[in-house]
Structure formats: C-alpha cells, structure tokens
Amino acid sequence: MSRQEPTVRGPEISIDADWDRQYVGGEWRRVEERERIEVENPATREHITEVPAASVEDVDDAYEAATAAQVDWAETPPQERARIVRRVGELMEKHEAAIREILAVEGGSTVPKQDIEFGGTVTLVYDTAQFPFRVSGRHADSKVPGKENMVRREPAGVVGVITPWNVPLKLAMRAAGPAIAVGNGVVLKPPAETPISGGLLLARLFELAGLPDGVLNVVPGHGSTAGDRVAAHPDSDVIAFTGSTQAGRLVGENAIDHFAFPALELGGNNAHVVLEDADLDTAVDAGVFGSFWNQGQVCISINRHLVHESIYDEYVERLAERAADLTVGDPRDEDSIVGPIINESQRDQIMTFIEETAEQGATIETGGENDGLFVEPTVLSGVENSMSAACNEHFGPVAPVIPFSSDEEAVELANGTAYGLAGSVHSADRGRARDVGDQIDVGMMHINDQPIHVEPHMPFGGVKDSGVGRYNGDWIIDELTTTKWTSVQREERGYPF
C-alpha cells in the first residue's frame, strides 16, 4: 500500500494551476522581479500561464541546493530511493487525465502522442525504480599476493538536465528520474515552450512522492541564460542534454570546460528504407506513423523515405493518400491525429523547407500549406538527397520520398548525412534487411518497423552528429555514476626498497 501523500504547498496537478514558480531547495519561489515567460496553447494561441525566467543567480541557488542535498540522498538506502521513484509512477497513473490535458494544451499533443508519451513515461519510471538495486561493481584478484581489488559505482554528484519541448515529459523524466534513483542531485532547466510538462510537473510529482528538499530543482528560463549557466556550472558533474546538434555543441563545450560528462542526444535525419520485396502495406503503415506522429516533431521521426524505384510510384501514391486522410486539428479533439507546430519560428522553417524543395524540382503530392500553426501532412516526390527537406532535419509533418536502384545505393543515400541517430529497413527477407541495416551508420536500427520506437531497457542514442552517450537501462546508469577502484592489501607486502 502506498504511503499517504505528504502535505505540500505546491501547485495542483492541473493545467489551470498557478505554475508561476521556480522550484529550488524544496520551495516554490515566485521571484517577482524576474522577467516572465508566457506559455501559450499552440493550437489556439491562448494564454496558459507565465513562469519566471531564471537568472544566473537562480541557477546558482539551484546548484547550491542540489549539492547540499545530494550527500545525504546518496546515503539513503536503495529501497527508500526506489520507493520514492515508484511512487512517482503511481501518482502519474492517479493523475493521468490531468497530465494528458497538460500535454495537449501546453505542447499540442494529440491523443496518439499522449498515449505514447504518457504510457512510455510511466513504464520508464517503474523501470527506473529498480535502478537503486542495479548499481553494481565487481571484485577481482590482484597480481600482488595478498591483495584484493574492488570496483564500485558511486553517484556522479549533481546532474544538470536541459530538455526540449517536443516530448517534454518523457525526455525530462528519462534523465532526471535515473539521476535521482542512483543517488544524484538534479538541476533541471525545462524548455521555455513547455515548462510545466517538461519540468514543474516533475517537481510536483517528486515533491508529492516525498523526495527530500533540494534533490530536484527546476529553473525555467531561456537557453542563453539559464541553459548556458546549467551547462557551464562548476558544480555539475554530468550534463544531460537533448536538443539540436547546433545547441548540443555549445552545451558540450561548456560541460567539457569544467570536465563534466556530456550526455548529448542530438538531431537526426532518419531514413526509412523500403526494398523492392517489402510488404507495401506494412511499409506504408510504418511510414505514415513514423513521419506524422507528433507532427514529425521528434528526433527519431522519419526524415527521408528511401524507396526502390520498382515500387516507388505505388509507394508515393499510397503514402500521399494516407497522409491526406489524416485529421488535422486541436489536440483536445480525440479525432485529431496531427496537431499544431509548437511555434511560429518552427512553422516558418518547415514551410521554407517545403517551398525550397518544390523550387528545387520536387513535386508536392499532398499538403504543402498551413493554417496558422497547423501544417498539412505533406508528401514530396521526385526528391534528391541534396534538397532542403531531405538534407536538413525538417522536424515537421513532411515526407520526402527518394528513389534508389540497388541496396548499395540505398545504404549510400541513408549514410549521406552528418547524422546517425535511427533508421528502419523493410524487406520480406529479414536477413537481407539486417544486412542493409547493419551498413547504415546509426545508433538504433529497426527492421520491418519505423524509427519511433523506445524501450526503457534498450540503449537510446546515436553516432556522428547525433550525439554522445546512451540513455536507458544500464547505459544511463553508467553515465550517471562514477567508477571507484579500491584495493586492499590483506597480507604484508614486500617492496624493492
């Protein structure tokens, strides 16, 4: 039976609550003199709330609180740390309707997106609750007589977490949750667009679960101020960042400057390869989901469809028909599949990529227009790898389709990008699909599926410009802990002098 929730004075778990706060040292601080960041519903442009933009001094306060709290937290018995993390999962299930509404109203998440983000986060939290018992070391003999060697894992210390707006709850929890579970303090800088679901909601959940004050601190703010200070703070031991490759380079430089470990999950330009013997129904089903889930606003979405020339026309026709049938609308409407783009700048960039690609010779088979922040699901044919919507991470509901004539050309096209995050290959011959997939330089490859696939016990991350390190399971435990070697000389040892 779960313990009774402690009485705290934080906001209710509701989109209508007063979220105009920072959470530092266990206190919900309004900080009246700070600039306010307005949070809007991207579907309606209605005002939701505003939050204080953290200053450098606010971030410093958060690190001071995390550093002070971490020492006792690291010594807290693993069963207690596990209980608190598990309680967060229980609270999420209890408040599911309210959390889904926050995802819809603040982040533009349609029901299919809510299903995966909410459900995936709960699963992740329950898996993370096992981490306190999975941090293990080893024992080994020594080359020196009478000596034994012991290696143990210890919490890294304080983990700075900087997360994006596209899957805010899941991407914040996958870093903050494990960091807390293995005994670290955390300073979380959520995205300015989604500070509730990407940060303040986590603070409230962990507070209700009984996490000691100061272990988790949440400082909403701008990347150029709060984000830079989080990454560059001398008291940070790990910086967990998810975002663009351009921003990730700066975060990595700031982290390395004070020898913090940079765990960077960055951009992608993921290829969905369809060989000539593929089951077209399956490949198109996967292609529709992989391109248009969350309006394509996800690093592991399909950025390019690479289709064998013998089935190219039929694939394009089917994909365009399916895209045209997708319902575009307010995420609070259960029938909506494609919701709004998060803001005007992202919308404008997507539309520019579409327009430039058409000017470069591609054909818009369906879509290509927008109504406010709603961009129509768009399929482009006659695309080449060098065209704007193909060579860039478009991060929108756009499906450029590129033909190829051989497996070798498909591999060359798939690898013709600086990114190496995820990919998928379809073929009736699974061995052949594996052979092709093995030659594509990515951190995650999915056979007869699509790349939007995450499991909490499987390593998540990429190669090349897609980042450094891996999230989930034992991989994230390794990155959030340090290795300490202790040798014990149990017998008298002779020395040469």
Q: What percentage of the chain's residues is helix, strand, coil (to nearest 5)? A: 40, 25, 40
Residue with tokens 């802990």: 481
Among candidate residues 164, 179, 41, 189, the one with its CA nearest the CA of residue 102? 41
Question: What's the token pair of residue 430?
Answer: 């699974």
Question: Given the DSSP bridges, would you call strands 374-375 and 370-371 parallel, antiparallel or unpaired?
Answer: antiparallel
CB 16 within 8 A of CB 98: no
Q: Is position 492 annotated as part of the catalytic site?
A: no
What Å distances lie between residue 237 and 25, 423, 479, CA to CA? Answer: 19, 32, 10
Q: Which residue stretches of 219-265 are H helix?
A: 228-232, 245-257
Q: Is position 391 annotated as part of the catalytic site?
A: no
Beta-carbon contacts of 94 under 8 Å, excluding residues fewer than 6 positions away, are: none
Beta-carbon contacts of 406 under 8 Å, excluding residues fewer than 6 positions away, are: none
| C-alpha span between 59 and 222 (Å, rounded) | 12
| C-alpha span between 270 and 25 (Å, rounded) | 41
| C-alpha span between 248 and 465 (Å, rounded) | 9
Of the residues 193, 207, 265, 376, which is catalytic? 265
| C-alpha span between 355 and 374 (Å, rounded) | 16
Of the residues 299, 391, 393, 479, which is catalytic? 299
Among candidate residues 413, 379, 418, 404, the one with its CA nearest the CA of residue 311? 404
* Enzyme catalytic residues: 265, 299
